[in-house]
Structure 1
Amino acid sequence: MDRRTFLLATGSLVLPVGLARAEVGKPLPERQTGELDIHHIDTGRGNCTLIVGPDGTLIMVDAGASLSAAATSSTPKPDASRRPGQWAARYARRYGKAIDVFVATHIHPDHLGDVSDTMPLSADGRYRLSGVSDVAAEIPVRRVIDRDFPDYGDRPPVQAPFTANYLAFLKARQVRGEAVERFHVGSGVQIGLNNPKAYPAFSIRNLAASGRVWTGTGEGVRDILAQRPAGTPADENACSVAFRLTYGRFSYFAGGDLVSDTHDGREPWRDIETPVARLAGRTEVAAANHHGYFDACGPAFVEALDAQVYVIQAWHATHPGQAQLQRMLGAWQGKATADVFATDMLQANKDLNARFLPNMKSMQGHVVVRVAPDGATYRIFVLNSRLEGSPVDGIFGPYRCR
């Protein structure tokens, strides 16, 4: 049974009008002026999200290029003829000539690119092309925002070849006079539109980075990772960037690989997810933290966000965990349910989560959230990620913002 047949059989494919039915199998309808798009891009190798603002501003969040073993990971999408960052850049070029802002949530290969000796060197020979550096080689990137560059203080990223390569890329940008910025926790203006006056209902609030969480007032922050015992390394996932996007009544949350696991209460400082989710509050659409892995998307995450839609950027056999999927779906008797979409659930994970599959809206493909110009409603398009043209496989909604 192919995916569209499965969706039809389970009643998950929503085709509200004849126009929507005609769109299935065709390219994503052209974005209209004032519409907001959030594309969760399935390259099979990690996270990559492209936000197309109502004025056409392009904001990319992460560009993963994991080298994880094929036995437990997704196959490259659309195929292996190009590297994941190259595919992400080609996808972005459908919507503009440059990435206006690139946000790096944290320094891990499946978010910024792994590295090997077989990968080509950049034009200046300072770093290898993988993930974000591949994106920047294919399409201009005007600004890069990192969690703490250049001074990570007592929260340095792990020493590894992928870290060294990413930092070499950032330093090379500085040498060339290209913008690299530190993520300013609490700011509501650092990440925005090229033409903000035309769309005052759009904003992005920076909620957390490097274990520092906005207090909700002014530029105040709570430093949760400062509570860890002296000499304890800061976990890179806990250092993830988090933000909340709003457009009229619509809202969207993303928190990289934030986690809530405290090692059964022994290390409470590891839970950055809970205070960030409570700060974000009710949200229409939320990206699952840490791919819905066992250590994230805890009870407080779902309770606080209370999202109508969750998007799991899955690419590994462990994405998502059973408890996490049940929690996001609301798959308990008498519990309000949510719609859950995944970019690429592997067969091993489907076997693990078999009892929940009938409740899923989709399990493979690019997941595009398209918000109406008034910010009051949105639809979800699932696109075929195995074909570069990305024809529409499914349409869901319209959802009405609460």
Structure 2
Amino acid sequence: MSQPAISRSTVFPKWTPETLDIHHIDIGSGNATLIVGPDGTTILIDCGTSKDASVGQDDSHRPGELVAAYALRNSPSTTLEYLVATHVHPDHVGDVHSDKTAMGSGFQRTGLSDVDHHMPAKLVIDRAYPNYGLRPPLSAPFTDNYLAWLDARRQEGREVSRIDVGSKSQIKLRSPEDYPTFSIRTLAANGLVWTGNGQESRSLFPDLGTLPPEALPEENKCSIAFLLSYGLFRYYTGGDLTCDTYDGRYPWMDIETPVAKAAGKVDVAVANHHGYFDACGPDFVTMLDATTYIIPAWHVTHPGMAQLQRMLGAWPGVARRNVFATRMLPENRLLNNRFTSEMCSQQGHVVVRVAPGGGSYKIFVLDSNDEQDFVTAEFGPYLCN
């Protein structure tokens, strides 16, 4: 890996046309990923607020407000084309909080709805809204608040759609004819996975009516996964998909492996489920075979030791891979002490900048302690495979 000396006064260079930027935003309370396409199309995947207290440089602002401010600084638009919720958990869509002033029409602004208030989205995409069938999200205040926001959008005539697994036309650039090598394919959601044939998908879940309550698939296994392509560049992200089978009791619960197989080799991959103990198994790394892994970490359990070792390739005689984390807590750094020295970064916004045409990319780490977007490290360029 290459890491030139970086001055704290170096501000992250602005996006330019034909460049693809993928920002993994460190908010310390969940996932948030901003994509700025080569024509300036803006996409935000998730915005979590799993804690009551604000985090980062300004405790007077909620995490959703900070993500919106970051997105406005780092995109050429004041609106979003797409706002995507990979699944309905607070660290991905937003939790209820104590700020009673943040009210919308029948809901509290938090996470995604906070971003939508400050940077309005033309289309919100959910895994199944409004009909979740036999796989409803967890009954909880954050779920009720999230669904109330979606209901309010629809009542206002603002679009909300359910994901279409297998499609690579549901999320598209504003000017797709100018960038024919760019696409975002929906690999999986709700237990369905793309077959690799056209836009077909198949079910990974058994007949849910035959399962005991303890074996019913929970929310993480229903996460949306995407494969983004631009020229030779390939990028994978899969929300909180997992591979844990309860020690083999339910083999079908390994959703991660068939999804990774459908994706195939990529250049950059986001760790499933924050690199938690029940995700990022051996097949995940083998099938994706990424040069770079990014861990959206914010909790003491992110990442697990085996998961970090696996993504790094930290075994004798194995070529090392680049691993970045948005925010490893001190306790987790202590747990993973034998591997942290091999990581590229352990805190900060992690930005993948893909060169025009998609032949190479760089990684920038930005200081997340304030809103200046100073570059603390730069890696690459890496040629795409």
TM bucket (normalised to shorter chain) is over 0.9
Letter of the aligned partner of 2:78 in structure 1?
K
Partner residue, 1:311: 294
Does the residue aligned with 1:361 lie in a helix, a strand or coil?
coil
Q: Deviations over 1:222-243 (max 9, x none)?
A: 2112355435332100000001
Does the residue aligned with 1:142 lie in a helix, a strand or coil?
strand
CA distance in 2, matches of 1:256, 1:269: 18
Residue 191 in structure 1 maps to residue 171 in structure 2: yes
CA contact (8 A) 2:94 2:112 kept: yes
> Which of 45, 52, 59 lines up with 1:61 in the alignment?
45
> Which of 36, 50, 55 lines up with 2:34 in the alignment?
50
- TM-score of the superposition, structure 2-length normalised? 0.96
CA contact (8 A) 1:24 1:395 kept: no
> Which of 89, 103, 107 lines up with 1:122 in the alignment?
103
Letter of the aligned partner of 1:321 in structure 2?
G
Residue 109 in structure 1 maps to residue 90 in structure 2: yes
Partner residue, 1:336: 319
Does the residue aligned with 1:28 lie in a helix, a strand or coil?
coil
Partner residue, 1:285: 268
CA contact (8 A) 2:6 2:376 kept: no
> Which of 178, 192, 199 lines up with 1:212 in the alignment?
192
Greater mean alpha carbon deviation, residues 213-222 or residues 138-147: 213-222
Partner residue, 1:14: 3
Does the residue aligned with 1:204 lie in a helix, a strand or coil?
strand
Alignment CA distance shift 1:175-1:317 (3 Å): same
Residue 92 in structure 1 maps to residue 71 in structure 2: yes
Deviation of 1:121 after TM superposition, in Å, equals: 4.5
Q: Deviations over 1:307-347 (max 9, x none)?
A: 00000000000000000000000001122221000000011
Deviation of 1:269 after TM superposition, in Å, equals: 2.1
Deviation of 1:23 after TM superposition, in Å, equals: 6.2
Partner residue, 2:157: 177
Partner residue, 2:281: 298
CA distance in 2, matches of 1:386, 1:227: 48
CA contact (8 A) 2:231 2:357 kept: yes
Partner residue, 2:343: 360
- TM-score of the superposition, structure 1-length normalised? 0.92
Partner residue, 1:26: 10
CA contact (8 A) 2:19 2:354 kept: yes
Deviation of 1:117 after TM superposition, in Å, equals: 5.0
Partner residue, 1:254: 237
* Identical amino acids, percent of aligned pairs: 54
CA distance in 1, matches of 2:149, 2:341: 44
Alignment CA distance shift 1:119-1:46 (3 Å): farther
CA distance in 1, matches of 2:117, 2:82: 15
Q: Deviations over 1:141-185 (max 9, x none)?
A: 110000001100000001000000000000100000001001000
Letter of the aligned partner of 1:38 in structure 2?
I
Letter of the aligned partner of 1:397 in structure 2?
G
Partner residue, 2:250: 267
Letter of the aligned partner of 1:262 in structure 2?
T
Deviation of 1:137 after TM superposition, in Å, equals: 1.1
CA distance in 1, matches of 2:384, 2:97: 45
Deviation of 1:133 after TM superposition, in Å, equals: 0.8
CA distance in 1, matches of 2:110, 2:297: 20
CA distance in 1, matches of 2:287, 2:365: 26
Residue 137 in structure 1 maps to residue 121 in structure 2: no
Written as runs of structure 1 = structure 2, the 5 A alignment for 1:222-237 is 222-227=202-207, 229-232=210-213, 233-237=216-220
> Which of 128, 133, 142 lines up with 1:148 in the alignment?
128
Does the residue aligned with 2:121 lie in a helix, a strand or coil?
coil
Q: Deviations over 1:221-269 (max 9, x none)?
A: 2211235543533210000000100000001000000000101100112
CA contact (8 A) 2:6 2:377 kept: no
CA distance in 2, matches of 1:60, 1:198: 22
CA distance in 2, matches of 1:348, 1:22: 28
Letter of the aligned partner of 1:356 in structure 2?
F
Letter of the aligned partner of 2:282 in structure 1?
P
Structural RMSD (CA): 1.5
Does the residue aligned with 1:62 lie in a helix, a strand or coil?
strand
CA contact (8 A) 1:13 1:361 kept: no
Alignment CA distance shift 1:363-1:168 (3 Å): same
CA distance in 2, matches of 1:184, 1:120: 36
